[in-house]
Chain A
Amino acid sequence: MTVQVLLPRLLAECTGGRTSMALDVPARTTVDALLDVLAAEHPVFGRRVRDETGALRRHVNVYVDGEEVRRLSGLDTPVPADAEVMVVQSVAGG
């Protein structure tokens, strides 16, 4: 199945300049598995979004079809076909 992924502009240097892409992923995938696919191709992007324990960084948010995954099942949140997955930095800093 295909999933549309939107990536933060701040991390474009880690993804070859791309801020959106269509990914072919297996059916019944999860956010974690989707991030694995992205990290395999873009390792530095992977480290920016998740720490070495695999946890989503505190000030990074992931939305699946507009729903923030921490309000769902976290990184185990299912990603349906044709979903839009948005990775974006949260409001933080000073």
Chain B
Amino acid sequence: MATTLLAIGTRKGLWLATSEDRRSWSLSSPHFLMTEVPSIGIDTRGGRTRLMIGVRSEHFGPTVVHSDDLGVTWDEPEHGAIRFPADTGAAVERIWQLHPDSADRPGVVWAGCEPISVWRSDDGGDSFALCRGLWDHPHRSEWGAGYGGAAAHSVVPGPEGTVHVAMSTGGVYRTTDGGGSWQPRNSGIGAYFMPGPAPEFGQCVHKIARDAVDPRRLYAQNHHGVYRSDDDGDSWTSIADGLPSDFGFVMLAHPRRAGTVWVVPLVADGERIPPGGELAVHRSDDAGSSWRRLADGLPAHEYNAVLRDAACVDAGDPVGVYVGTRGGEVYASADEGESFGTVASHLPDVLCVRAAVLGATELARSPEDRARSGASATSASEEDS
């Protein structure tokens, strides 16, 4: 039976949960305790599982660490995986996104950071290069900062050199040449917090996701507004009808099935709680034409928000759906959101979750295997104590 790994990044550390059935979970002790974990990437390409973690100390700054043995040991490049070139005069504030590319581009990993920047690694996340085309973009001086900071928080690679990013604030930008040049792609996306008609850029797009089957179809959860694009981001139309609110942070796409997406609505930007104080996930199976409210197993009363990366899906069959709240609760569904169970409670604010179903190959270097082979290892909790 496959093991599912759920990595939970919080305001004060990382927890790793594992399950054989995605209903009963074992939770690790904290890794990187007292350190913010705003980004997680789980790379299962090439028959190994690499955990990539963006950590940030309030005192000692951000860095990227990775583990190839499911968190038994962690490695950090001595000189840092993500560092601005000297001529930029900039320093990384927070690593918001670590996203492995597709299986046909092994070794490629994307990062989105604060200040607004996108980075590409070709060595599996050991080192990243700044995408200068976006860094030097003429719009940069007009991009703003969302409440959480000015960041490229969503990086969605597509086929043939296409990558979409979303930034707050700035909106959606697209490259079709692998990151060399970038164009805003926000036509149809609102920006109610600005006077006049919606601008070419400057929107506060909270999250974007690509359709599993049609790579030219994308979905966006905006700072008020839920949208779909059928033309690679050239234009967007509302798919908010049927939702209790068009505000929220989450946008998840099914990994295999066309037209299936999940959102987690919040009342409004001025009232960032689930509608009615009742947490619910909403799923569409027809690309946003209609939505179903899913709340079985979720708490009757929940006044905490779910942040943009505090929800994810796995690649299981059926797909698992995971949601973490700023109140430190983490819920898992093994049936695409039809019902949820609790993974963890009373953790610090959940900033991000990522899940992967691990086969025998990916588990080949599990802690138990390492112990059996006599490999020496220092536990993360010892390192961090």
- B61 interface hit (Cβ, 8 Å): yes
Q: Of the listed stretches B76-84, B135-143, B164-172, B185-193, name the one at the interface; the rest are far from the partner chain.
A: B76-84
Contact residue range for chain A? 10 to 19
With contacts A52-B92, A53-B89, A55-B91 taken as known, whether A47 is within 8 angstroms of B80 at the C-beta atoms is: yes
The answer to whether B60 has its CB under 8 Å from any CB of chain A is: yes
**Is A52 in contact with B83, judged by CB distance below 8 angstroms?**
yes
Once the chains bind, are B84 and A52 in contact (CB under 8 Å)?
A: yes
Interface presence of B222 (CB below 8 A): no
Main SS class of interface, B:
loop
Residues A89 and B90 in contact in the complex (CB < 8 Å), given A13-B383, A43-B78, A44-B78: no
Chain B residue at minimal CB-CB distance from A51: B91
Distance in angstroms between the alpha carbons of A60 and B59 in the assembled complex = 6
B91 touching A52, Cβ below 8 Å: yes
Given A13-B383, A52-B84, verify A59-B59 contact (CB < 8 Å).
Answer: yes
CB-CB contacts below 8 Å: B51-108 with A: 57-61, 63, 76, 78-80, 83-84, 86, 89-92
A48 touches B57 (CB 8 A): yes
Contact A48 B58 (CB under 8 A): no
B residues at A contact (CB < 8 Å)? 34, 57-61, 63, 76, 78-80, 83-84, 86, 89-92, 383-384
Q: Could you list 16 further interchain pairs (A-B, Cβ under 8 angstroms) beyond the known A11-B60, A90-B59?
A: A13-B384, A43-B79, A44-B76, A47-B61, A47-B63, A47-B79, A48-B59, A48-B61, A52-B86, A53-B90, A53-B91, A57-B60, A60-B59, A89-B59, A92-B58, A93-B59
Taking Cβ atoms with an 8 Å cutoff, the residues of A that contact B are 10-11, 13, 43-44, 47-49, 51-53, 55, 57, 59-60, 89-90, 92-93
Can you spell out 6 A-B residue pairs with CB atoms less than 8 angstroms apart?
A: A13-B383, A44-B76, A48-B57, A52-B91, A57-B60, A57-B61
